[in-house]
Chain A
Amino acid sequence: AQTVTQSQPEMSVQEAETVTLSCTYDTSESDYYLFWYKQPPSRQMILVIRQEAYKQQNATENRFSVNFQKAAKSFSLKISDSQLGDAAMYFCAYRIKAAGNKLTFGGGTRVLVKP
């Protein structure tokens, strides 16, 4: 079975500091996309960042960056200069190109931001 594992149920970070969320996945496919989604409390899920597996360069989006290690099947998210609005559940997900369009999600990591 293809799975996504987020080993940290909850992470706490001081405002303006940096936090890193871990994600590992298990697939035998070589062509896929990886995503981090953010789900604020009682609000809809929004895309934070995406990475194409064939690209070695790590994706960045403003304060958000990833560390993609394809051989290790690891896809961690770094949030720099954390802000109060970053408090949310963060989900790691992937989509296998040859297996349709469904996303397979991890169990999520709750990020708490302390002022």
Chain B
Amino acid sequence: DTGVSQDPRHKITKRGQNVTFRCDPISEHNRLYWYRQTLGQGPEFLTYFQNEAQLEKSRLLSDRFSAERPKGSFSTLEIQRTEQGDSAMYLCASSPWPVAGIPTDTQYFGPGTRLTVL
């Protein structure tokens, strides 16, 4: 099963360190999304790519956060100078190109990367 994969699954870091997460979407899905989920809450949208273009960014995505999708396939999310408030589950999702008559807006989620900032 070639679902959405994320690496690493868990990351523990010290405050002030930089961390980078990777997401591999479902093959041929041209849309890729990042969400953040804190304990006991629903996911919150961070950013969205269509192919390699970053088309939307949430205000939650401070200047310490940067996301890339250089070749329109996998994506990375980097957090610089981590803070304890960055501790959360970071979820990646992908969806296919819209095709007339077929509901392709469904987003398929990966298992997430759980970040703990000490």
Contact = CB atoms under 8 A, between A and B. Distances in A.
B56 interface: yes
Interface residues of A, number: 23
Interface residues of B, number: 26
Q: Which of A93, A100, A101 has the most CB of B within 10 A?
A: A101
A86 to B, nearest CB: 18
Given A44-B110, A46-B109, A50-B106, A100 B55 contact: yes
B25 interface: no
Nearest to B4: A44
A11 interface: no
Specify the main secondary structure of chain A where it touches its partner. strand
Q: Which of B44, B106, B111 has the most CB of A within 10 A?
A: B106
B65 interface: no
B22 interface: no
A109 to B, nearest CB: 10
A71 B41 CA distance: 27
Contacts of B48: 100-102
Given A47-B106, A101-B33, A101-B105, A106 B95 contact: no
Interface of A: 4, 33, 35, 37, 43-47, 50, 52, 91, 93, 95, 100-108
Interface of B: 3-4, 31, 33, 35, 40-45, 48, 55-56, 58, 91, 95, 103, 105-112
The 4 A-B pairs of least Cβ separation, nearest first, read: A105-B42, A102-B45, A45-B109, A44-B111
